[in-house]
A and B are shown apart, each in its own frame.
Chain A
């Protein structure tokens, strides 16, 4: 072992360090650097970094979308009718889920497991509803993935969001069950925070996808 150690109550001089090793000195003494703990936990930072990486993948898909769109004389291609009903309902549901997710999160922080479970359960229902609506958007599109580039990117981008929503829904269901079982408290809510961040990110993904596919495309 490199460092000779003494027990906390020891007052005997330290054992001289053997050749090639380094003597230890107290790490508590003389440290001029701050010892403040960053309020963001490792789990939350990990999720934030994952979100950054995931956002780069989304940006790449959107770059493909706009790269192809800008090179096309007609976008979406003739015969494609982009409706507004389903995306509008999805958007409203996504906004509602933002509030329900926050309701669950703040309830956990207030030591209120019942309200937390209700808020999170509601968010799970919203998540399933969004996935269902996106499935309807696939079924009722009137074109398929292999018809043209718009179709491919339509299925790719909405599918990308659907995968995020389903993943976030599963994670939220898991933390909701843990919340009900009393695993979290006002001082221990890190997983809820991390999952809530991911949920909000999946909502942001929808807004990016919706803007590309619907807002910046002509409507039928």
Chain B
């Protein structure tokens, strides 16, 4: 076996952060220093972990709010919170979980894993990612402060019923709008950084077709985010002008002094609908990695899977109008878009099934079927749970699209469907990724038994909490109701959903517990405990500050699998130096 040495050119931790931040990629570039001008430094692994920490805090906060809301709806005429307080709860719950949990969480995991997966020693702009992190933290502070100033009752889409309405008055809304705006700016900045990193910092021979599925999903997701989020930012800017300078963009109605409040939901959903899909895409990437690695073979029809992910990114812009009530006549057109975007997701799932079937056939052929055994890996359990939630979400989404302009968009069906598809599936995918990449994040394995219990609670909680909401949708329960009379048929499903929310809350607590226990006392992981296929498994666990000391030969999309299946024949030592993490190839 031959090796490649980066020799003195190997980027050492002593190299300056300034070099790393400013210079174009090259063999002599330094690695980012673990410390720097920003608190926590500019090392992408540290920045990513801080993103994850921030996101988990908001998950817990949003989860507590959800549990209170569900407790209010557990039975008829429960008087736990007032109607206005209830509206405040669902406003903050939506803002916390969508904007401040899902977005920073995926950006955080991508910030850690993308450079490792592509053989880079840093992000393209390390300081910019640290800036995005602390901007996110500041934005989170503003949003947390907002309810202490004004009772916020507009919903997370800031449109109940329209932004110029009475409910939209008070200084707290300024904090909310500013907080969301700054968070979105941070996400756009981070997404740009991730795209440039993937396009410019890939290891030699790692062509774009060969990048790992998670990296590809991040590339597509980030592309969607930089196209979608600025639209919401522009809307928030116009809203601020309306609020502070008595402007007339969303205020008033066309015909008097102008202005059209109905434009806000159109603008918001044009950005938010693709952004929700962009938050599911990395989860699809994580599960694709897990399916391939634990099947012990590359994904079946991998390039088709990549095309499917790209198709999700494109088609995510086609269905936004299905969520806008004022677009009655155009809704059937958008419904087609909302239906079409489900097809590539279904094709991805089909690819995973075919991969597992092909792997089983391989084992039968080799006569190793039934070998191994033992308890299933928590990553695999989460992946199975993810598939079950995704399937339910796809089914609900398809029925919702077919019911264009119908009640399923106005009642609890929409809540259940969006929670299954975008919250449930995305969150389970994220946790699966944390178990899978824990060796690279902390150098340790997360506790498997606790992981199994947590997977059960998380996946079971998602199903128990959100499937009854579909039933409530069929029973036409309104979305924003804070209570209901005892003679309604809604009580049984509400009770089950509330029980599910508690189970889901328990799952979230177990996730935090598993992360704390695993990161501190977990079993030390080897460099490649799962028999990984991609480059992150070719370095130490946890990786050094400069990520890689040397790089395996890249002959396909699974360079490490290549080595295991067909090790290169022994030959003369190669003495040429290979720039680790050097510039990209097209």
Contact = CB atoms under 8 A, between A and B. Distances in A.
Contacts of B188: 53
Contact of A156 (B237, B555, B578): B237
Interface stretch (B244-252, B296-304, B402-410, B428-436): B244-252
B257 A5 contact: no
Interface in A40-80: 41-43, 45-46, 49-50, 52-54, 56-61, 63-64, 67-68, 71-73, 77
A53 B195 CA distance: 13
Contacts of A60: 230-231, 234-235, 267, 270-271
Nearest to B247: A152
B246 A146 contact: yes
Contacts of A8: 5, 7, 575-577
Contacts of A64: 234-235, 238, 249, 263, 267
A220 interface: no
Contacts of A149: 248-249, 252, 254, 257-260
B552 A3 contact: yes
A147 B544 CA distance: 60
Interface string B501-544: 00000000000000000000000001111000000011111001
Interface string A22-51: 111111111111111110011101100110
Interface majority SS on A: helix, strand, loop or mixed?
loop
A3 B242 contact: no
Contacts of B573: 6, 10-12
A154 B578 CA distance: 56
Nearest to A52: B226
Interface residues of A, number: 74
Given A8-B575, A60-B230, A150 B553 contact: no
Nearest to A159: B241
Interface in A140-176: 145-153, 155-156, 160
A104 B43 CA distance: 35
B104 interface: no
A148 B196 contact: no
Contacts of B2: 14, 24-26
Looking at A5, A54, A150, the one whose CB has the most chain B CB atoms below 10 A away is A5
A45 B538 CA distance: 29
Interface string A2-24: 11111111111110111111111
A112 interface: no
A24 B538 CA distance: 8
B24 A25 contact: no
Contact of B238 (A16, A23, A27, A156): A156
A33 B235 contact: no
B200 A45 contact: yes
Contacts of B540: 1-2
**What band does the interface of chain B fall in when counting residues whose beta carbon is under 8 Å from A?**
35 or more
B420 to A, nearest CB: 29
Given A28-B574, A56-B231, A22 B538 contact: yes
Nearest to B128: A46
B249 A153 contact: yes
B245 A146 contact: yes
Contact of B246 (A6, A45, A52, A145): A145
Nearest to B124: A42
Contact of B230 (A20, A36, A53, A155): A53
Interface in B187-236: 188, 192-193, 195-196, 199-201, 203-207, 210, 226-231, 233-235
A157 to B, nearest CB: 10
Contacts of A148: 248, 257-258
B249 A156 contact: yes
B230 A57 contact: yes
B193 A46 contact: yes
A31 B263 CA distance: 53
Contact of B568 (A25, A53, A67): A25
B567 interface: yes
B201 to A, nearest CB: 8
B527 A20 contact: yes
B247 A145 contact: yes
Nearest to B561: A22
Interface string B1-20: 11111110000000000000
Contact of A68 (B233, B249, B584): B249
B560 interface: yes
Nearest to B233: A57
A89 B564 CA distance: 68
B241 A38 contact: no
Contact of A46 (B3, B192, B206, B271): B192
Contacts of A73: 255
Contact of A27 (B205, B241, B260, B585): B205
B586 interface: yes
A129 B25 CA distance: 38
Given A31-B553, A54-B230, A5 B5 contact: yes
A162 to B, nearest CB: 14
B1 A25 contact: yes
A49 B199 CA distance: 12
A18 B527 CA distance: 9
Nearest to B25: A42
B563 interface: yes
B554 interface: yes
A152 B242 CA distance: 8
B466 to A, nearest CB: 32
A42 B563 contact: no
A31 B554 contact: yes
A56 B275 CA distance: 14
Nearest to B578: A27
Given A2-B527, A25-B3, A36 B586 contact: yes
A26 B586 contact: no
Nearest to A46: B196
Contacts of A14: 1-3
B227 A3 contact: no
B125 A57 contact: no
A58 B188 CA distance: 15
Contact of B248 (A7, A20, A151): A151
A49 B219 CA distance: 13
Contact of A7 (B5, B229, B564): B5
A146 B575 CA distance: 72
B553 A26 contact: yes
A63 B271 CA distance: 13
B549 interface: yes
Interface of A: 1-14, 16-38, 41-43, 45-46, 49-50, 52-54, 56-61, 63-64, 67-68, 71-73, 77, 145-153, 155-156, 160, 190
Given A24-B552, A152-B248, 13 more contacts: A1-B527, A8-B575, A17-B1, A21-B526, A34-B585, A42-B201, A43-B24, A49-B226, A53-B192, A59-B231, A64-B263, A67-B266, A156-B247
13 contacts: A5-B549, A6-B573, A20-B526, A33-B204, A34-B586, A36-B585, A36-B586, A38-B200, A46-B196, A50-B192, A56-B227, A67-B266, A68-B259
Nearest 4 pairs of A and B residues by beta carbon: A149-B258, A20-B526, A26-B574, A146-B246
